[in-house]
């Protein structure tokens, strides 16, 4: 199992090009099931999770062609043979559950394994199921599978008890081909949900209100679009910008979007950073972050549904605040168990105390390198950037977490001056 070795590095500097958004690509790849002709997706990142979703579609009989270096994924949805997402694929990547809405939307039936929980929480799907039932879809949960019968489905009023990203995406994908009008209330407003809606609209779906809490959909009978480009990954961008702030360097993240990161950038500025935004054409921006002085403690950071501070940048922000002058409080309101990076950061010399869903981060003068083990994708990233400023060497184990969500991570960090390398395990002696 590979690991990544990070050494104390000089302040990062230079440009890093941001890749396509994993969390937009995954639901959009699933949504190609709704289309009646081949689709080419562009700006697709080269990630393990994308390969996993591709494998799932191929297991259903679709033909795909993933050009990793070019960042394109061609999908021909016309050859679906099995309307099932098996347990052994769904358990490896919970986003596989996003095929439920498209399958029942297009074929009026589906059999999809329930996703298990994961390190950051139980992550139930009750909101997904309640949303689909509001579209008159019959759902049975049997032997660990959701079996959907959409033969009588029709548009309706979907109210989400919580603005769940995945539930909004599944509901959207079922509704676009449901006869009549659907309204999704308390919808998630994340940019990735909006990108899915924009993809469906480009394919001919009738959708209004994406990006707001209320989305209106008028069902259609046919969807097709030749090609579509995925939005940039705001979490990848935030990760590199947090690393710039932590190391006291100046980094420009290119081909991303300031509007997706307003809460995060505001908190970076509260922590003593300067930000500069330059338009880069096509609705994209270059975002530069630098830190002229000490890291300032931030009284409170609260993770919230978009446009609030994103939970996927909580761990990276915590790594930054470990070296702040003063004490900061980080409150995690989205997931019930997303502080597992705390114990690892404390092993590196941080001083963090968890009380309920709040972490009290008392700034220290320095961190010390250590072998660390991460439990989820974003925690891994936080430990890696902490290693950039820790005295000595930090070995981030279980690097497969990082490969799920960060394209070419050691190349991109090396390009900014980081001392980082991927370490392959020594071959076992025969
Ligand atoms: C998406 O997960 C992202 N994943 C997550 O990113 C992200 O952290 C999350 O949204 C929140 O922004 C993808 O898009 C593939 P939710 P999702 O449904 O859709 C509870 C990463 O690192 N909930 O908005 O699963 C749930 O348990 C990943 O890239 C229910 O209780 O998130 C959680 O506490 C991690 N019942 C909260 O809502 C449900 O039916 C938010 O979950 C659904 C959700």
pLDDT tens by residue, 204-232:
999 999 999 999 999 999 999 999 999 99
Q: Are residues 190 and 237 in the same domain?
A: no
pLDDT value at 82 more than 80: yes
Which among 162, 186, 217 is the end of a domain? 217
Question: Which CATH number does the domain housing residue 323 bear?
Answer: 3.65.10.10
The protein residue whose alpha carbon is closest to atom 8 in ligand 1 is 312
**Domain span holding position 304:** 3-18+232-423
> Do 279 and 385 share a domain, yes or no?
yes
- The answer as to whether 223 is a domain residue is no
Same domain, 188 and 241: no
Does residue 227 lie in a domain region? no
pLDDT in tens, 290-324: 999 999 999 999 999 999 999 999 999 999 999 99
Residues 149 and 190 placed together within one structural domain of the fold: yes
Q: Report CA(320)–ligand 1 centroid distance (Å).
A: 24
Same-domain status, 12 and 38: no
Q: What pLDDT score was predicted for residue 146? A: 95
Quick check: is 388 in a domain? yes
Residue 207 · residue 172 · CB < 8 Å: yes
At residue 118 the predicted structure's pLDDT band, cuts being 50, 70 and 90, is confident
What pLDDT score does 188 carry? 98
Query: What gap in Å lies between CA 195 and CA 101, rounded to an integer?
Result: 16
Identify whether 118 is a catalytic site residue: yes
Please tell me whether residues 165 and 28 are part of one structural domain. Answer: yes
Q: Are residues 189 and 258 in the same domain?
A: no
> 165: CA distance to ligand 1 center in Å?
6
Same domain, yes or no, for 154 and 266? no
Same domain for 277 and 208, yes or no, is: no
Return the residue whose CA atom lies nearest to atom 20 of ligand 1: 123
- pLDDT value of residue 426: 74
Strands (E), 160-310: 181-185, 206-208, 214-218, 227-229, 250-256, 274-281, 284-290, 300-302
Domain-located, residue 376: yes
Q: How far apart are CA 81 and CA 249, in angstroms?
A: 52
Ligand 1: residues with CB < 6 A are: 23, 26, 95, 121, 123-128, 162, 164-167, 190, 192, 311-312, 334-335, 377-378, 405
Which residues have C-beta within 8 Å of that of residue 266, sequence separation ≥ 6?
Answer: none
Report if residue 222 sits inside a domain.
no
The answer to whether 73 touches 30, Cβ cutoff 8 Å, is: no
Whether residue 250 is contained in a domain is answered as yes
Give the count of domains, the chain. Answer: 2
Q: Give the pLDDT confidence score for residue 40 in this predicted structure.
A: 98
Co-location of 253 and 206 in the same domain:
no
pLDDT of residue 255: 97
| Domain stop point among 158, 187, 217 | 217
What average pLDDT does the chain have?
96
Q: 185-194, 224-233, 324-333, 421-430: which range is least confident on average?
A: 421-430
Q: Select from 182, 217, 252 the last residue of a domain.
A: 217
Q: Which of 4-8, 80-84, 188-192, 382-386 has the lowest average pLDDT? A: 80-84
Q: Separation of 402 CA from ligand 1 center, angstroms? A: 18
Ligand 1 mean position to 135 CA, how many Å? 22
pLDDT at 430: 56
Catalytic residue among 118, 173, 256, 322: 118
Report how far ligand 1's centroid is from the alpha carbon of 342 (Å).
20
Q: Which atom of ligand 1 is nearest to the CA of 162?
A: 38
Pocket test for ligand 1, best of 118, 158, 334 (most atoms within 8 A of CB): 334
Q: Is residue 36 part of a domain?
A: yes
Does residue 33 sit in the same domain as residue 103? yes
Residues 391 and 319 in one domain: yes
Residues 165 and 192 sit within 8 Å (Cβ to Cβ): yes
pLDDT at 175 exceeding the cut of 90: yes
Average the pLDDT over 179-187 and give the result: 98
Kindly report the protein residue whose alpha carbon is nearest to atom 10 of ligand 1. Answer: 165
The answer to whether position 192 is within a domain reads: yes
């Amino acid at each position: 199992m590979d690991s990544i070795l990070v050494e104390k590095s000089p302040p990062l500097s230079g440009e890093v090009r941001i890749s396509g958004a994993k969390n937009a690509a995954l639901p959009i790849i699933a949504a190609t099931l709704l289309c009646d002709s081949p689709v080419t997706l562009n700006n697709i990142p080269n990630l393990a999770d994308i390969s996993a979703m591709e494998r799932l579609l191929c297991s259903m009989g679709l033909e795909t062609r993933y050009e990793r270096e070019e960042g394109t994924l061609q999908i021909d949805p016309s050859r679906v043979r099995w309307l099932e997402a098996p347990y052994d694929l769904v358990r490896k990547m919970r986003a596989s559950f996003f095929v439920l809405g498209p399958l029942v939307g297009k074929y009026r039936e589906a059999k999809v394994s329930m996703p298990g929980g994961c390190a950051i929480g139980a992550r139930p799907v009750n909101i997904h199921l309640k949303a689909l039932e509001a579209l008159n879809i019959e759902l049975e949960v049997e032997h660990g599978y959701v079996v959907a019968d959409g033969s009588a489905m029709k548009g309706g009023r979907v109210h989400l008890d919580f603005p769940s990203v995945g539930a909004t995406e599944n509901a959207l994908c079922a509704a676009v081909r449901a006869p009549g009008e659907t309204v999704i209330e308390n919808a998630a407003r994340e940019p990735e949900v909006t990108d899915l809606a924009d993809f469906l609209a480009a394919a001919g779906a009738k959708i209004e209100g994406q990006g707001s809490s209320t989305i209106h959909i008028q069902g259609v009978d046919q969807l097709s679009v030749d090609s579509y480009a995925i939005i940039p990954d705001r979490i990848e961008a935030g990760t590199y910008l947090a690393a710039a702030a932590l190391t006291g360097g100046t980094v420009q993240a290119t081909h991303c979007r300031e509007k997706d990161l307003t809460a995060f950038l505001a908190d970076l500025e509260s922590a003593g950073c300067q930000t500069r935004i330059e338009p880069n054409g096509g609705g994209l921006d270059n975002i530069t972050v630098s830190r002229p002085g000490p890291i300032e403690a931030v009284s409170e950071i609260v993770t919230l549904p978009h446009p609030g501070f994103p939970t996927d940048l909580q761990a990276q922000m915590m790594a930054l605040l470990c070296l702040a002058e003063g004490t900061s409080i980080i409150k995690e309101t989205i997931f019930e168990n997303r502080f597992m990076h705390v114990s690892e950061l404390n092993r590196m010399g941080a001083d963090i105390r968890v009380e309920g869903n709040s972490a009290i981060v008392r700034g220290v003068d320095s961190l010390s390198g250590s072998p660390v083990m991460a439990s989820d994708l974003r925690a891994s990233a936080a430990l890696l950037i902490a290693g950039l400023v820790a005295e000595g060497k930090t070995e981030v184990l279980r690097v497969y977490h990082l490969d799920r969500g960060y394209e070419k991570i050691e190349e991109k960090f090396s390009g900014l001056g980081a001392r980082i390398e991927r370490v392959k395990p020594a071959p076992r002696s025969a």
